[in-house]
Structure 1
């Protein structure tokens, strides 16, 4: 049975509540989901209302070394319309570089609406095969152009991050819904997994940031 975490709580991903090694970490799915709070007040909800503008939430993963830093920032490539593609084939997994060069962690794709049940975005990681130089993975969610569109986590409800093992068993889940403390916050360090005594642990974080650019969240995790 999956363990529902509160902010700041940590569990061992391989063990169940009794401490037995039951979960298969050869392939772990980190699933993220959310709903956009319906607009229009009581009468708008009563008569169908409007779901409001599209929200594009992007899942990102930082792979950290023993110093808690991203060691490989990859390449910068020319992109379309004069824009550069940064962090390509780096230790950062995001929409412009969806698969790590090792092939052990990847982003499945970008779902823009948050509509429907289940995961809206997924990051797949082969934890048991990940190189020892990676000691921690930090999972971030950012609202694309949230500042321009005046969209923030205070407008989002039923947001969650969960871990599912290779056999499809949900190991743990951390949920939160937007409130006044999330107003103006456009990015979130949602959770992290990290090595501990030869195993992997999962920590629920839920730390919001006002920026809608995940690179600003990344800066403290890089070498100066």
Structure 2
């Protein structure tokens, strides 16, 4: 039975699930009806962060144009351009035992593609969630529903996996950013532009 998290809550992954070596991080969302005439394209991105909370290089930023990072330990399974259908809209595979030692945290984010040009924000998105599934058993271990009503934000850090005393944990963050992916990337130490 999955543990349902609240914002700010932290939960252990590997300590309570001995033998857990690979997880699927599933992210999903629905878009509300709006008459802007443009499609919504939400994207998942992943930042592999060192002790300083920053990426070490561009290859530590995993998204639809760079689908593999961390020496192959983190893999984005592909861009869903519509968000339609049930279940996860996008998934990230993480081989926990293969994540490079220098990576202390893995942050998961959702951004709205061309949000400013299309006049879109997370106030027009509902039912956003992140969940962690044991890849070997397909069992959902953790789920965080972002129940908050974001209004002006165009990027969300939904959660992060991090190392603690040799074990992996998950932190439900649910923090919004204005400025979309560029602001998020800059926050995590990438040069944008």
Same-fold call, TM cutoff 0.5: yes
Pairing partner for 2:90 from 108, 121, 133: 121
Q: Considering only CA atoms, is the larger Rg found in Structure 1 or Structure 2? A: 1
User: In the aligned structure 1, how far is the partner of 2:99 from the partner of 2:189?
Assistant: 20
User: In the aligned structure 2, how far is the partner of 1:176 from the partner of 1:216?
Assistant: 20
Contact 1:139 1:190 in 2 (8 A): yes
Cα deviation, 1:72-126, whole Å, max 9, x if unaligned, reads 22xxxxxxxxxxxxxxxx1110111111261111110011111111000011110
Contact 2:8 2:172 in 1 (8 A): yes
Contact 1:156 1:178 in 2 (8 A): no
Shift of 1:37: 1.2
Q: Which runs of 5+ in 2 are unaligned?
A: none
Runs of 4+ with >4 A deviation: none
Contact 2:177 2:183 in 1 (8 A): no
Contact 2:161 2:171 in 1 (8 A): yes
Cα deviation, 1:118-139, whole Å, max 9, x if unaligned, reads 0000111101221211110011
Instruction: Name the structure 2 match of 1:63.
Output: 48
Report the aligned-residue RMSD.
Answer: 2.0
Residue correspondences, number:
190
What SS does the aligned partner of 1:133 have? Answer: coil
Please tell me whether residue 30 in structure 1 is matched to residue 30 in structure 2: no
Please tell me whether residue 210 in structure 1 is matched to residue 183 in structure 2: no
Shift of 1:24: 4.5
Please tell me whether residue 176 in structure 1 is matched to residue 146 in structure 2: yes
Shift of 1:187: 0.4
TM-score (structure 2 length as normaliser) = 0.91
Shift of 1:65: 1.1
